[in-house]
């Protein structure tokens, strides 16, 4: 942190310096500073999508990498995500207005019997940062919630999360119900959560298991690219 | 025997309590269960059972449990007549069960120690009504800072408390022993987390049943 006498005045930084400072502020989880910087860039005429991708996503990418490499831990990532949330709160309505490109649409929620939402909130944040539109349906979701949400939101992707060994089997209940309703193949299904693993994801019929939020983003992008290629090829 | 301090059980585990000998059985357990297992062993005179523990802190890193158990079984299997693994699934998502089956060793049934202390069946019956409960055992009450407060960063970022615990409603202290000081400490933890408090006497639950069964197989 800077000393008081050389405190950084965000509005006095040029664009490049300000974006760099936003990377640092995201890393340090400084929500108010991020909000102020977003306003400054908007005032300078930056497009909301440019702020999102170049400043916020750029910063969160560093956070994601350092988390994966064991340099940052969950508490720090949560603070960074909270700071990003502050920026996103300002940008979200503007992004909708300006018709920013959307890579895909995702519904995400924690399964029935499980109240843990830290992981899925991080995924939501990272996915939004990567250009997805996300409907987060929160915790303790029965089958009906997922099915209603994916239809209502016209989702491409369904994400399910569970922290408990006892609740993760419910993901299969959801997938089986979607099969019965003949809608399983309409969605890319991604699953994640601490006790899950690759084998479990395959066994329950998910398209992929994602071990963390960064992997979820990469996997979702990959599946959406394949989907677009298939559509382009007319298959 | 004199049990090492909880901090040591958390970080280092416990070396085998008895050297291999003819017919001796080895229990490979989570360090968080050392005290309870030794108490049962002493009370029941299970002299033929030795205990070794892996660091209890693996509880917070379930992905490390399976490799650690595998290594311990490999290390000791030539020296003891039989080996048992005193872990439940413990967040391994079925991988520990698969590994134990592959190695030909038995483990404790159930999703985790909260379940087997209470009794797996009873815990499962209650599960639907207790979605918002946060459980602590005797060991976890004593080691609360090492297992909850510090790993969640609440010592550095107390503002994150509600991010983690907003959906929880109560802290259930599953008491293995009757210790008023421990109960007070558990209640204080509930206060720190902003949760209601409930003390529930479980004793050793299914842990005692399982160990008795294993001990009887001479």
Tell me if A210 is assigned to some domain. yes
Q: Is the domain of B42 the same as that of B87?
A: yes
Per-residue pLDDT band at B2 (split at 50, 70, 90): confident
Q: Is the domain of B110 the same as that of B130?
A: no
B129 to chain A, minimum CA–CA distance in Å?
9
Beta carbons of A195 and B132 less than 8 Å apart: no
Domain count, chain A: 2
Mean pLDDT of chain B: 95
Beta carbons of A78 and B95 less than 8 Å apart: no
The pLDDT value recorded for residue B146 is 95
CATH number at residue A46: 1.10.1240.10
Residue ending a domain, among A100, A129, A145, is A100
DSSP assignments along A155-217, one per residue: -SEEEEE---TTTTTHHHHHHHHHHHTT-GGGSEEEEE-TT--HHHHHHHT-SEE-SSHHHHH
Beta carbons of A114 and B128 less than 8 Å apart: no
Q: Is the domain of A14 the same as that of A115?
A: no
Of B44, B135, B37, give the one whose Cα is nearest residue B87: B37
Beta carbons of B167 and A116 less than 8 Å apart: yes
User: What integer is the mean pLDDT of A83-94?
Assistant: 93
Q: Which of B91, B127, B132 sits opposite A194 (nearest CB)?
A: B91
Q: Which of B62, B131, B132 sits opposite A195 (nearest CB)?
A: B62
Q: Is the domain of A93 the same as that of A128?
A: no
- A138 interfacial to chain B (CB closer than 8 Å): no
- B160 interfacial to chain A (CB closer than 8 Å): yes
The pLDDT value recorded for residue B101 is 98
The pLDDT value recorded for residue A235 is 54
Q: Is the C-alpha dihedral spanning A148, A153, A156, A160 positive or negative?
A: negative
* Residue B183 burial (CB count, 10 A): 16
DSSP assignments along A167-181, one per residue: TTTHHHHHHHHHHHT
Per-residue pLDDT band at A97 (split at 50, 70, 90): confident
The pLDDT value recorded for residue A5 is 55
Q: Is the domain of A123 the same as that of A92?
A: no
Beta carbons of B62 and A194 less than 8 Å apart: yes
- A80 interfacial to chain B (CB closer than 8 Å): no
Q: Is the domain of A56 the same as that of A118?
A: no
Q: How far is CA B114 from the centre of its chain?
A: 8
DSSP assignments along B152-194, one per residue: TTTTT-GGGHHHHHTT--EEEEEESS--HHHHHHHHHHHHHHT
For residue A121, the chain B residue with the least C-alpha distance is: B163
A-B C-beta contacts closer than 8 Å: 58
pLDDT digits (tens, 9 = 90+) for B37-56: 999 999 999 999 999 999 99
A165 to chain B, minimum CA–CA distance in Å?
6
Q: Is the domain of B39 the same as that of B77?
A: yes
- A118 interfacial to chain B (CB closer than 8 Å): yes
Tell me if A1 is assigned to some domain. no
Tell me: pLDDT of A177 over 90.
yes
pLDDT digits (tens, 9 = 90+) for A135-176: 999 999 999 999 999 999 999 999 999 998 889 999 999 999
Q: If you average pLDDT over each of A127-131, B126-130, B139-143, which comes out highest?
A: B139-143
Range of the domain at B187: 118-201
Beta carbons of B93 and A165 less than 8 Å apart: yes
Beta carbons of B160 and A164 less than 8 Å apart: no
User: Which has the higher per-residue pLDDT, A189 or A98?
Assistant: A189
Tell me if A4 is assigned to some domain. no
In the stretch 24-63 of chain B, residues with CB closer than 8 A to chain A read 62
User: What integer is the mean pLDDT of A13-18?
Assistant: 97
ipTM: 0.81
The pLDDT value recorded for residue A2 is 47
The pLDDT value recorded for residue A232 is 75
Beta carbons of A195 and B164 less than 8 Å apart: no
Residue ending a domain, among A79, A100, A121, is A100
For residue A116, the chain B residue with the least C-alpha distance is: B167
Tell me: pLDDT of A3 over 70.
no
C-alpha–C-alpha distance, residues A17 and A10, integer Å: 9
Tell me if B98 is assigned to some domain. yes
For residue B65, the chain A residue with the least C-alpha distance is: A195
Beta carbons of B91 and A78 less than 8 Å apart: no
Residues of chain A in contact with residue B112, where contact means CB-CB under 8 angstroms, are: 165
Q: If you average pLDDT over each of A57-61, A125-129, A223-227, which comes out highest?
A: A223-227
User: What integer is the mean pLDDT of B21-47?
Assistant: 94
Q: Is the domain of B184 the same as that of B210?
A: no
Whether the Cβ atoms of residue A89 and residue A34 lie closer than 8 Å to each other: no
Counting beta carbons within 10 angstroms of the beta carbon of residue B47, is it exposed (0 to 12), middle (13 to 18) or buried (19 or more)? exposed
Residues of chain B in contact with residue A73, where contact means CB-CB under 8 angstroms, are: 153
Tell me if B1 is assigned to some domain. no
Q: Is the domain of B137 the same as that of B171?
A: yes
Range of the domain at A140: 102-235
The pLDDT value recorded for residue A165 is 87
**Least confident segment among A41-50, A120-129, B110-119:** A120-129
Tell me: pLDDT of A208 over 80.
yes
Tell me: pLDDT of B22 over 80.
no
User: Which has the higher per-residue pLDDT, A58 or B20?
Assistant: A58
C-alpha–C-alpha distance, residues B159 and B135, integer Å: 22
Q: Is the domain of A123 the same as that of A230?
A: yes
Whether the Cβ atoms of residue B139 and residue B33 lie closer than 8 Å to each other: yes
Whether the Cβ atoms of residue B180 and residue B154 lie closer than 8 Å to each other: no
Residue ending a domain, among A76, A100, A124, is A100
């Amino acid at each position: 942190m800077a000393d008081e006498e050389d405190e950084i005045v965000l509005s006095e930084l040029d664009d490049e310096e300000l974006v760099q400072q936003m990377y640092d502020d995201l890393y340090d989880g400084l929500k108010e500073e991020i909000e102020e910087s977003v306003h400054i860039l908007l005032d300078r005429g930056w497009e909301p999508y440019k702020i999102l991708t170049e400043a916020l996503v750029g910063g969160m990418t560093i956070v994601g990498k350092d988390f994966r490499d064991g340099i940052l831990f969950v508490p720090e990532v949560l603070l960074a995500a909270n700071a990003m949330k502050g920026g996103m709160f300002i940008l979200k309505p503007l992004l909708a207005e300006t018709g920013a490109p959307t890579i895909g649409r995702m519904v995400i929620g924690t399964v029935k019997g499980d109240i843990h939402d830290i992981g899925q909130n991080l995924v939501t944040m990272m996915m939004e940062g990567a250009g997805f539109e996300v409907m987060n349906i929160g915790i303790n979701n029965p089958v009906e919630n997922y099915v209603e949400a994916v239809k209502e939101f016209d989702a491409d992707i369904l994400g399910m999360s569970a922290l408990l060994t006892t609740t993760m089997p419910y993901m299969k209940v959801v997938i089986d119900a979607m099969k019965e309703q003949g809608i399983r193949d309409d969605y890319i299904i991604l699953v994640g959560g601490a006790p899950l693993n690759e084998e479990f994801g395959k066994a329950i019929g998910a398209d992929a298991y994602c071990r963390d939020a960064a992997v979820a983003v990469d996997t979702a992008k990959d599946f959406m690219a394949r989907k677009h290629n298939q559509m382009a090829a007319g298959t | 025997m004199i049990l090492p301090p909880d901090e040591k059980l958390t970080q280092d585990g416990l070396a085998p309590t008895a050297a291999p000998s003819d017919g001796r059985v080895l229990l490979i357990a989570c360090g968080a269960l050392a005290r309870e297992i030794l108490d049962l062993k002493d009370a029941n005179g299970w002299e033929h059972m030795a205990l070794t523990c892996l660091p209890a802190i693996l509880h917070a890193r379930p992905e490390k449990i399976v490799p650690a158990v595998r290594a311990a079984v490999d290390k000791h299997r030539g020296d003891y007549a039989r080996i048992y693994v005193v872990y439940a699934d413990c967040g391994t998502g079925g991988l520990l069960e698969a590994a134990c089956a592959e190695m030909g060793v038995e483990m404790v049934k159930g999703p985790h120690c909260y379940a087997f202390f209470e009794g797996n069946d009873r815990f499962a019956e209650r599960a639907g009504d207790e979605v918002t409960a946060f459980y602590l055992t005797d060991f976890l009450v004593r080691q609360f800072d090492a297992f909850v407060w510090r790993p969640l960063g609440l010592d550095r970022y107390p503002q994150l408390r509600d991010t983690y615990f907003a959906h929880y409603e109560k802290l259930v202290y599953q008491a293995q022993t009757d210790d008023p000081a421990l109960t007070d400490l558990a209640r204080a933890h509930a206060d720190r987390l902003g949760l209601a408090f409930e003390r529930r006497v479980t004793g050793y639950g299914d842990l005692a049943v399982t160990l008795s069964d294993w001990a009887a197989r001479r």
